[in-house]
């Protein structure tokens, strides 16, 4: 089982689409964990400090995604000894559009739920801001996992 898993990971490193998507998933997940760690006392924090942590988390996510994508591409080129170009065809565009639809649906539903909780159940602004930010990250990660599933 371990060998099969390692073999799948090695094959995944050779496909540029899966490799870039795994970099995005990892970067977004690390940023979410960092934000969750820094928001443990969110009920005692001001809206400015919560917003600062969320903005930093989004920035960390962007930087990590770029760095991990570059690192995975370099590592794959070293392992395989080949440079692989990122070429899109119709199938790739269909997969990306389908993943975008799923991401938009998840984010839209979570946004409506957050607004309902905010309006009718007295959810605090700080909690709503955190929920909206995390729902965006979760929607993105779910759509990225869908892309990995479709590319396999």
Query: For 53-65, what is each residue's pLDDT tens digit?
Result: 999 999 999 999 9
Q: Which tokens go with 87? A: 């070429």
Q: What is the 3-state secondary structure (H, E, C) of 74-125?
A: HHHHHHHCCCCCCCCCHHHHHHHHHHHHHHHHHHHHHHHHHHHHHHHCCCCH
Q: What pLDDT is attached to residue 25?
A: 93
Q: What pLDDT is attached to residue 52?
A: 92
Q: Which domain holds residue 132?
A: 2-151
Q: Pick 7 or 47 by higher pLDDT.
A: 47
Q: What pLDDT is attached to residue 86?
A: 65
Residue 14: pLDDT band with limits 50, 70, 90 = low
For residues 57-76, average pLDDT: 91
Split into its structural domains, the chain has a count of 1
Q: What pLDDT is attached to residue 1?
A: 42
């Amino acid at each position: 089982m371990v060998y099969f898993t390692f073999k799948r990971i090695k094959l995944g490193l050779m496909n540029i689409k899966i490799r870039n998507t795994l970099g995005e998933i990892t970067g977004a997940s690390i940023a979410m964990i960092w934000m969750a760690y820094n928001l443990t006392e969110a009920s005692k924090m001001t809206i400015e400090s919560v917003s600062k942590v969320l903005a930093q988390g989004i920035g960390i996510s962007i930087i990590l995604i770029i760095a991990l994508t570059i690192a995975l591409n370099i590592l794959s080129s070293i392992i395989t000894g080949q440079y692989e170009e990122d070429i899109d065809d119709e199938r790739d565009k269909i997969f990306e559009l389908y993943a975008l639809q799923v991401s938009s649906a998840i984010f839209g539903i979570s946004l409506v739920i957050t607004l309902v909780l905010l309006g009718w159940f007295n959810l605090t602004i700080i909690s709503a801001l955190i929920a909206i930010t995390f729902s965006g990250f979760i929607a993105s990660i779910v759509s990225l996992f869908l892309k990995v599933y479709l590319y396999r």
